[in-house]
Amino acid sequence: MDVLEKTDRIASIVLDDMSITRRAPEVERERQTAIADLIASNYFAPVGLNNGPYDLLLRACDNRLTFCISSNTISQPEEIRVSIKPFQRIIKDYFMMVESYLAAINGGQPHRIEAIDMGRRGVHNEGSELLQTTLEDKINLDFDTARRLFTLICVLHIK
C-alpha cells in the first residue's frame, strides 16, 4: 500500500443524528454494516486536502448534506455542503423498496424477494452514482465508498 492509499481514506465516521431517538433493528444493522465496511475499505480524497486519513462527520440539516472533514493534521475542519434535494426522490424510492423487501420476507413471498432486491440494488446504485457526480469537484471517491455513504445518508433521513 503506497502513501496515497493510506491517506486518501476515511479513518472514522460519525452520523450527526441527534434528532433520531430509535431505529428499527434492520436499519441499525444496515448502519453498522455500512460503517464497518466503509472503515475497512474506502477511497476518499477531498479536493485540495492531502492530510488524511480523515475523520468524517456526516450531517443532514436544512435540506443540506454536510461532510465535516478533519484529521490529525488539519487545524480547522473542512465543511463541504451539498443540496439534498437531488437525492430526495431516490431516498424515497429506496425506502419504498426496503419496505417491500421486508414485507416480502415477513409475508413468506420468496418469489418476490429476488425481484425486489434487484430493484433495491438498482435504486441504491442510482443514489451512489448521483453522490459521486454531486461530489466530483469536491471529493473523489470510488463507487463502493459512494454506496456505503449513500446508505448512511438514507439512515440520516429516517423519520
* pLDDT greater at residue 157 or residue 115: 115
76 CB-contact burial (10 Å; exposed 0-12 / middle 13-18 / buried 19+)? exposed
pLDDT over 50 (residue 114): yes
**pLDDT at residue 2 in the model:** 45
pTM: 0.88
* pLDDT greater at residue 82 or residue 155: 82
Under the banding of pLDDT at 50, 70 and 90, the label for residue 20 is: low
* pLDDT greater at residue 20 or residue 2: 20
CA 122 centroid distance within chain: 15
d(Cα 141, Cα 144) in Å, to the nearest integer?
A: 8
Cα separations in angstroms, 96 against 9, 43, 102 = 31, 29, 10
pLDDT over 90 (residue 133): yes
pLDDT over 60 (residue 124): yes
pLDDT digits (tens, 9 = 90+) for 43-92: 999 998 888 899 999 998 888 999 999 998 888 899 999 999 999 999 99
pLDDT digits (tens, 9 = 90+) for 84-111: 999 999 999 988 888 888 888 888 778 8
pLDDT over 70 (residue 19): no
What are the extents of the domains in the chain?
3-156
